[in-house]
Structure 1
Amino acid sequence: MRRRIPSIEALVAFEAAARHLNFTRAADALSLTQSAVCKQIAALEDYLGVPLFNRVKKRISLTEAGAVYAKRVSEDLDRLERSTISLMSHRGERNVLELAVIPTFGSRWLIPRLAQFHAANPGITVNLTTRSDPFVFTETSFDAAIHFGAPVWPGAVSHPLFGEELVPVGSPQLLATHPCKEPRDLIGLPLLHQSNRHAAWQRWFEAAGVKDVDVMGGPRFDLFSMLVEAASAGLGVALVPRFLALSELESGQLIIPFDRSLRSEMGYHLVYPDSPSTNPALARFTAWLLAEAAAYRETMSPAETARAA
């Protein structure tokens, strides 16, 4: 049965026009004439039976259906391009692992250790792409993912790596200007928040015996790496996973004013589809990562280790 898919040329022209919202700029980006782009889009709209653009004089805008379709087509073309480049680069050999990772975990914990994996597995390439939210494996080109959360991922096998404890960190210079003798004193300093951990500071203060205070104010940052940098720059005190700030703590760039930790209810996990994999790179990476995580747990505090089970 023939697939009901428009021509790739039409989809590429539509994606470019939707991205630029200008047929001329889309044509320039594709090294085509404006007429050729317009013909491809007209043919696509005719094929779909749905208008994709509103045309008012010389200006265009996406229709509601066009906006939805543009997002999906862009994602599909990106996925097709990645798959094509991967196949071309490695001549079809199954020695490439496509891994989705949490940004700060990837840059601060995983990447510094990857040289060891490559030394033991010189023929395997690990490609990293940042993804923070769960997804359906069958809708992506990923072989596996490392995520933070509950050990549940639909349609996937989950391996716990380790847990997490949050500790307050600040620059010595900032804390010198505002001496803190007890946890309550931190309220007088700017408190830096991670965007997805809205209640973390509230919970930390409650665990430290400081109740009935409003600590929701303060700058918010999307990534823990941003929080670490902001705290190092003296913008305030951040609440971050201890293992993500080890370098700055060891160098003295950051200090922990009160070694009271907040244990997270969740942990880090390696997940991959529960269907049998034909990619030998995944099996080797899984064995290596679990061994690295086990070795790392030996160096962790009891609060972190407790969430690794």
Structure 2
Amino acid sequence: MSRVRLPSVGALTAFEAAARHGSFSRAATELNLTQGAISRQIRQIEDMTGVTLFERVRQRVVLTDAGRLYFNDVSRLLHELSEATHRVTAFAGGDGTLNLAVLPTFATRWLMPRMPEFLERHPGATINFTVRIAPFDLVAEPFDAVIHYGEPEWPGAICEPLMREEMVPVAGSGFRTRHGIAAPSDLAGLTLLHQSTRPTAWSDWFEAAGLPTANAWRGPRFEQFSMIAQAAAAGLGVALVPRFLVEEELEGGRLEILFDRPLFTDKAYFVVYLEQKAGSSLVRAFTRWIRAKANPVGIEPT
């Protein structure tokens, strides 16, 4: 890139704080600077750009139209710079740190209860968790491994299988009795709870049970399985959820499986890592451990 004139990060931070507070003095207090220092930083930006960013109105500073436009861009860029710095800082731990991208419900419902065992075996390890729902460029982000649901397809990466997804119809305690549920066909007239990333699940389940699918699309949708499990436990309807994600509710009696007719989806859960990460002892240890805990059946590594 050719060199261009750019304000310093300090000047941009001073501008962002002053614009956010509508006050040079409040910005100075927040940044532990003098009001004069804030004013000089902002004047540097105005001199560099040839644009007036603030106007004085009744003892206050107010953004001009150009200032408002600049504030939106600067706020976003400072946030992105902060996030980038946090991400690269994650490398500081070297081989003793594992930066892991996880699916939120998988992490909270299945992985976290089992993590103490891994950390007991590797007491010097530090695991950083970041939520990623959709596939991303693994080369561009500082992750050592990813928990992925879908197909075993990730360019330049190794996908090792964890488990298939076995979905079962569940409802809250007493729901079956209150609604007189005796056969799978009885579910067609009830409220069906849907997970937004599995839009065909109920239709597939009804079809596998040899039932009409006309009513299988009706009902509210939820973004995460944790939400749909809570909704079912609260009696809002019947949910079709992965069995392993509701183990606690099933054991505690807050949810019950209505029919032992599981739906196996055509996708699976995988642990994914770049080929160049295969030499990391911590990545290898985590992969061996999580695969042993998941006990994969019927799916092969790629």
TM-score over 0.5 (shorter chain): yes
| Residues in 2 aligned to 1:69 and 1:263: alpha-carbon distance in whole angstroms | 48
TM-score (norm 2): 0.80
Cα offset, 1:178, TM superposition: 0.3
Structure 2 unpaired stretches of 5+? none
Q: Which amino acid aligns with 2:139?
A: T
Partner of 1:76: 81
Deviation at 1:94, TM superposition (A): 2.8
> TM-score normalized by structure 1?
0.79
Q: Structure 2: how far apart are the matches of 1:226 and 1:292? A: 25
Aligned length: 293
In 1, the alpha carbon distance for the partners of 2:278 and 2:88 equals: 17
Instruction: Please identify the structure whose Cα radius of gyration is greater.
Output: 2
Amino acid of the structure 2 residue aligned with 1:249: L
Q: State the one-letter code of the partner of 1:172.
A: S
Find the counterpart in structure 1 of residue 125 from structure 2: 124
User: Residue 293 in 1 paired to residue 294 in 2?
Assistant: yes
Does 2:276 correspond to 1:275?
Answer: yes
Q: Closer, same or farther in 2 for the Cα pair 1:106/1:54, shift >3 Å? A: farther
Distance 2:251 2:275 in 1: 40
Secondary structure, in 3 states, of the residue corresponding to 1:266?
A: strand
Structure 1 residues 112 and 179: CA distance shift in structure 2, 3 A: same
1:173 maps onto 2:178 in alignment? no
1:159 aligns with 2:160: yes
Q: Which amino acid aligns with 2:168?
A: V
Aligned to 2:203: 202
User: How many Å apart are 1:43 and its aligned residue?
Assistant: 5.2
- Aligned twin of 2:221: 220
- 2:214, 2:18 → 1: CA distance? 52
For 2:245 and 2:236, the matched residues in 1 are separated by: 18
Distance change (3 Å), C-alpha of 1:66 and 1:162 = farther
* Percent identity of equivalent pairs: 43
Which amino acid is the alignment partner of residue 146 of structure 2? A
- Is 1:259 aligned to 2:238, yes or no? no
2:114 corresponds to 1:113: yes
Counterpart CA distance in 1 for 2:9 and 2:279 is: 29
How far apart, in 1, do the equivalents of 2:265 and 2:77 lie?
Answer: 35
The answer (yes or no) to whether the contact 1:265–1:307 under 8 Å persists in 2 is: no
Letter of the 1:289 counterpart? I
Deviation at 1:168, TM superposition (A): 0.9
Tell me, in whole angstroms, the C-alpha distance in 1 between the residues paired with 2:265 and 2:36. Answer: 57
- Once residues 273 and 241 of structure 1 are traced to their aligned partners in structure 2, the CA distance between those partners, rounded to angstroms, is 28
